[in-house]
Structure 1
Amino acid sequence: MIDFVYDKKIKPYLNQYTGFVFEDVCQQYLLRENYNIKLPFIFEKIGRWWGNNSIKKRQEEIDILAFNDKKAIFGECKWQDKKIGIEVYEQLLEKSNLLNFTEKYFYLFSKTGFTEEIIEFSRNNSKIKLITINEIL
């Protein structure tokens, strides 16, 4: 009976639940880095963001938005078994255009790591930070 309940009621949703927990862990990482003054700026607020995309006529969501009056860190947290590619950054960049900040930084958090393409791209862009779960813990 226990195996049945686990297989039918828990296992199908475990990764989804863990993904939400991972977002909280990533947010805690940024709070710690902010406290230790290890970010490009000191943010005053942090949380998840939802809003309307009037061009695409749909709701958008950003996992983490940490900001002050002029600067923002946009964070995407991926708890999945494949490496994050450049398309995740491109989608986050597009969402960031819905908000008006003078400086924007992009933090990508990954359970599994990153593709060579995004690693190489981030080497030439100081506003992109790639963070694996090992760096968080």
Structure 2
Amino acid sequence: MFRYASQRRIMNPEIFYQRYIENDFEQFYVQKRFEDICKQFLIMKNQQGEMEEPFEAIGKYYYDLPKEHKNGEFDVVTKDDRGYAFYEAKFREAPVSNAMVEKEIQQVNMTGLYCYRYGFFSKSGYDEDISRSDVVKYTLDDLYNEKKLTLKIIDRAILAFVWFRLANQTSLTATQKMGRGWSRPS
């Protein structure tokens, strides 16, 4: 029923985690959930009155430009009284560059929708100073703030991963990395 169940029963937890869990967890599970985390983060900021312009709708935006033979999606889009704000979630090892930001903005502009703000969430930060006044940047440090994140909003494994990325990685045991028995050190 569970993949690698027999190996899990007979192997050392650290070795089992390194061999069967670590890569899949970060490359597949968390990567797919990162957009959801970013969306929930924006919703929390909106509910707490921390958005510059409170939004009334949030979701994804899919576009299809048949004449140009292009289509795609934007990870998180909000709508408010001023228009639209587009956010991209970049769960990559490499930092987000200015060229990547400009490429994403160009894609948004091709859709013809009025966008007054562009946002980026980056797992690995930013390698250059992006000094556009219409761009807002978030990192993992922004997403993890013990006063804002709750287990109610983000499931335990994701919260553990975010904390894991920010904490001293060598001090965690395999059991804590997999989400069981996880607790915040004092």
TM-score by length of 2: 0.60
Is 1:37 aligned to residue 42 of structure 2?
no
**1:100 equivalent in alignment to 2:113:** yes
* 1:109 and 2:114 correspond: no
Task: State how 1:47-66 maps to structure 2 within 5 Å.
Answer: 47-66=59-78
Selected match of 1:2 from 7, 27, 31: 7
- Closer, same or farther: CA 133–8 of 1 in aligned 2, 3 Å: closer
CA distance in 1, matches of 2:58, 2:112: 15
Q: Secondary structure at the match of 1:82?
A: coil
Q: 2:39 — aligned with what? A: 27
**Farther off after superposition, 69-78 or 22-31:** 69-78
Worse-superposed segment, 89-98 or 72-81: 89-98
Quote the offset at 1:81 in angstroms.
1.0
Higher-Rg structure is: 2
Q: CA deviation at 1:84?
A: 0.7
The letter for the 1-side match of 2:140 is I
- Point out where structure 2 has 5 or more consecutive residues left out of the alignment: 1-5, 9-16, 145-186
Report the count of equivalent residues: 130
Where in structure 1 are there 5+ consecutive unaligned residues?
Answer: none
Larger strand percent: 1
Q: Distance in 2 between matches of 1:78 and 1:12?
A: 17
Task: Please tell me the root mean square deviation across aligned C-alpha atoms, in Å.
Answer: 2.5
Contact 1:47/1:65, CA 8 A, preserved across alignment: yes
Structure 2: distance between partners of 1:78 and 1:134:
14
Q: In the TM superposition, what is the alpha-carbon distance from 1:25 to its structure 2 partner? A: 0.6
Q: Return the alpha-carbon distance in structure 1 between the equivalents of residues 22 and 143 of structure 2.
A: 26
Which among 139, 142, 147 is matched to residue 135 of structure 1?
Answer: 142
User: Scaled by the length of structure 1, what TM-score is found?
Assistant: 0.79
User: 1:112 aligns to what SS in structure 2?
Assistant: coil
